[in-house]
């Protein structure tokens, strides 16, 4: 596994702790090397000393044996990701490792880097021949990319097309770690296990579906957030994927191929949200103090965003969907609320404390054991699943090219109207209550 950007926030907050837990549970491949790339020359001990690996509730203390094992798997290599000549160093190192192990290894390139670097890095990997496996083997090479995939429909199309010059769709793993969260995985299981509810899973019975992802943290060290904002960071990816899982036709069986095909159809059916309703049906805000955090006193990047919309299909046109997200709010809470006309309420609580809660006259099945996962500790982090699935080559939890493009097509009118200042940006106090911000303009 080659991690580009190992010193970044994402690698430190999510990736390395996930690797620690996989290592602890003995779930990493027997023969594995993890190479972290960074621009500066770094000492491995010093670097690991800065990373908090044991972040899950059940970690009382870090296990020194596991730290030692992880340490032995990891090495750092100094590379400037935009210099194609530096990739020879990486190529030589991979060849040397494979010579030592006397096998062709599967290679997983993980791009945990700012999005503006995706294109150059992907191109450099391709030009250096790192998109294939070692010379005489049939091992697989895969590319894992973090969101956002593009800044708008044009750049997303361009990124996807250019990536396709070097990597096939089969090699691509576009990460949306929300799809790997326990309760998110249970959305389809819940629909499958409760046929009575599934019969009423439509606009004639459901009046509103609210999808909310709120955080108490600000943007932390992620200076590049200023070019992204909440719409691109959370709505276009995570929340739009949740819309897809909630509103898609339920496939007969939950295979990767059928799930993707159903999601793709649903996302395409949303179409571009009406431009003339953007000012009315969306809201965007920025927390006070964001300018200082980002070091840009004229930034109008949103840290809170919400959109209300309909899906113009026979099944859903009567239901009001609302998606909302924000940073520096009074709590960290991600949930989906489904309000039925007859008073039934279903809540998928994603975090904290994953759960499916229902208010219903008839009993519903809400507990699902995850028999297919190899992850055996309670409440595994989403990144552990992401990594295991990519290592095994299972595409179920990764976003397809068509899903990404349809999401951008739907949200492009927001990108355009917001850039013109419609609706205007509201400023809010840190620790605000989301309900105070979730107000749309009056028509
Ligand atoms: C990431 C976003 O995808 O998700 C971050 O880029 C955000 O801005 C994070 O903080 C939230 O993830 P989680 O799993 O903590 O809800």
Q: How confident is the model at residue 109 (pLDDT cuts 50, 70, 90)?
A: very high
Task: Tell me what pLDDT residue 373 has.
Answer: 56
Catalytic-role residue among 21, 238, 260, 395: 238
> Ligand 1 center to residue 178 CA distance, Å?
8
CA distances to 37, 87, 110, 126, 270 from 80, rounded to whole Å, are: 8, 9, 15, 16, 41
pLDDT tens per residue across span 31-40: 999 999 999 8
Confirm if 106 and 144 have CB atoms less than 8 A apart. no
Nearest 5°: CA angle at 89, between 84 and 95?
120
Task: Tell me what pLDDT residue 378 has.
Answer: 46
Q: pTM of whole model > 0.75?
A: yes
Q: How confident is the model at residue 201 (pLDDT cuts 50, 70, 90)?
A: very high
Confirm if 335 and 346 have CB atoms less than 8 A apart. no
Task: Tell me what pLDDT residue 31 has.
Answer: 92
Average pLDDT value for residue range 146-164: 94
Q: State the closest ligand 1 atom to the C-alpha of 237, by its place in the atom list counted from 1.
A: 3
Residue of 233, 301, 354 to test ligand 1 pocket, by largest number of atoms within 8 Å of CB: 233
Q: Which protein residue's CA is at the shortest distance from atom 9 of ligand 1?
A: 234
Instruction: Tell me whether residue 238 is one of the annotated catalytic residues.
Output: yes
308 or 133: which carries more pLDDT confidence? 308
Residue 123 has pLDDT above 90, yes or no: yes
Task: Tell me what pLDDT residue 56 has.
Answer: 61
> Ligand 1 center to residue 233 CA distance, Å?
8
Alpha carbons 104 and 113: distance in angstroms, whole number: 26
Task: Report CA Rg, the chain.
Answer: 22
Using CB atoms within 10 Å of the CB of residue 36, give its burial: 0 to 12 exposed, 13 to 18 middle, 19+ buried.
buried
Residue 134 has pLDDT above 90, yes or no: no
Task: Tell me what pLDDT residue 192 has.
Answer: 95
Q: Which protein residue's CA is at the shortest distance from atom 8 of ligand 1?
A: 233
Which residue in 104, 152, 153, 160 sits closest to 132, CA to CA?
104
With a pLDDT cut of 90, the percent of the chain lying above it is 78
> Ligand 1 center to residue 57 CA distance, Å?
18
Residue 369 has pLDDT above 80, yes or no: no
Interacting residues of 303 by C-beta distance below 8 A, sequence separation 6+: 218, 219, 229, 230, 285, 286, 287, 290, 326, 327, 328
Alpha carbons 39 and 78: distance in angstroms, whole number: 5
Q: How confident is the model at residue 182 (pLDDT cuts 50, 70, 90)?
A: confident
> Ligand 1 center to residue 443 CA distance, Å?
33
pLDDT tens per residue across span 43-66: 998 898 888 887 665 666 788 899
Ligand 1 pocket (Cβ < 6 Å) reads 215, 233, 334
Average pLDDT value for residue range 298-318: 97
Average pLDDT value for residue range 202-211: 98
Q: State the closest ligand 1 atom to the C-alpha of 219, by its place in the atom list counted from 1.
A: 8
Q: State the closest ligand 1 atom to the C-alpha of 228, by its place in the atom list counted from 1.
A: 6
Alpha carbons 144 and 385: distance in angstroms, whole number: 13
Residue 197 has pLDDT above 90, yes or no: yes
> Ligand 1 center to residue 234 CA distance, Å?
7
Confirm if 57 and 379 have CB atoms less than 8 A apart. yes
């Amino acid at each position: 596994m080659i991690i580009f950007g190992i010193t970044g926030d994402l690698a430190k907050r999510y990736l390395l702790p996930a690797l620690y837990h996989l290592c602890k549970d003995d779930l990493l491949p027997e023969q594995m090397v993890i190479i972290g790339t960074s621009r500066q020359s770094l000492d491995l001990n010093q670097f690991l000393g800065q990373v908090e690996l044991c972040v899950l509730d059940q970690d009382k203390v870090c296990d020194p044996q596991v730290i030692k094992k992880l340490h032995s798997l990891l090495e750092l290599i100094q590379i400037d990701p935009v210099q194609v000549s530096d990739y020879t160093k990486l190529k030589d190192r991979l060849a040397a490792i494979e010579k030592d192990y006397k096998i062709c290894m599967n290679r997983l390139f993980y791009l945990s880097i700012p999005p503006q670097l995706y294109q150059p890095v992907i191109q450099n990997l391709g030009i250096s021949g790192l998109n294939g496996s070692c010379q005489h083997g049939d091992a697989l090479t895969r590319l894992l990319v973090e969101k956002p995939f593009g800044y708008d429909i044009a750049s997303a199309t361009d990124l996807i097309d250019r990536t396709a010059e070097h990597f096939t769709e089969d090699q691509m793993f576009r990460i949306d770690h929300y799809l790997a969260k326990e309760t998110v995985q249970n959305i389809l299981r819940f629909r499958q296990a409760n046929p009575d509810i599934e019969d009423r899973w439509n606009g004639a019975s459901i009046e509103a579906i609210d999808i909310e992802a709120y955080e108490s943290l600000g943007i932390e060290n992620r200076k590049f957030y200023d070019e992204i904002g909440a719409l691109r960071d959370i709505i276009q990816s995570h929340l739009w994927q949740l819309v897809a899982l909630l509103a898609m036709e339920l496939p007969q069986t939950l295979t990767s191929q059928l799930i993707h095909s159903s999601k793709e159809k649903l996302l395409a059916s949303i179409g571009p949200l009406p431009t003339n309703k953007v000012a009315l049906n969306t809201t965007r805000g920025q927390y006070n103090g964001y300018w200082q955090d980002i070091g840009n006193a004229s930034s109008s990047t949103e840290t809170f965003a919400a959109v209300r919309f309909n899906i113009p299909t026979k099944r859903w046109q009567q239901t009001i969907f609302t998606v909302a997200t924000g940073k520096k709010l009074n709590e960290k809470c991600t949930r989906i609320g489904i309000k039925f006309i007859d008073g039934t309420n279903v809540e998928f609580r994603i975090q904290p404390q994953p759960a499916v809660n229902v208010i219903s006259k008839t009993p519903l099945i809400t507990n699902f054991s995850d028999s297919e996962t190899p992850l055996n500790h309670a409440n595994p982090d989403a990144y552990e699943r992401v990594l295991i699935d990519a290592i095994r080559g299972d595409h179920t939890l990764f976003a397809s090219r068509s899903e990404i493009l349809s999401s951008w097509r739907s949200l492009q009118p927001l990108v355009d109207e917001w850039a013109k200042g419609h609706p205007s940006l509201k400023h809010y106090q840190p620790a605000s209550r989301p309900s105070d911000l979730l107000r749309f303009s009056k028509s």
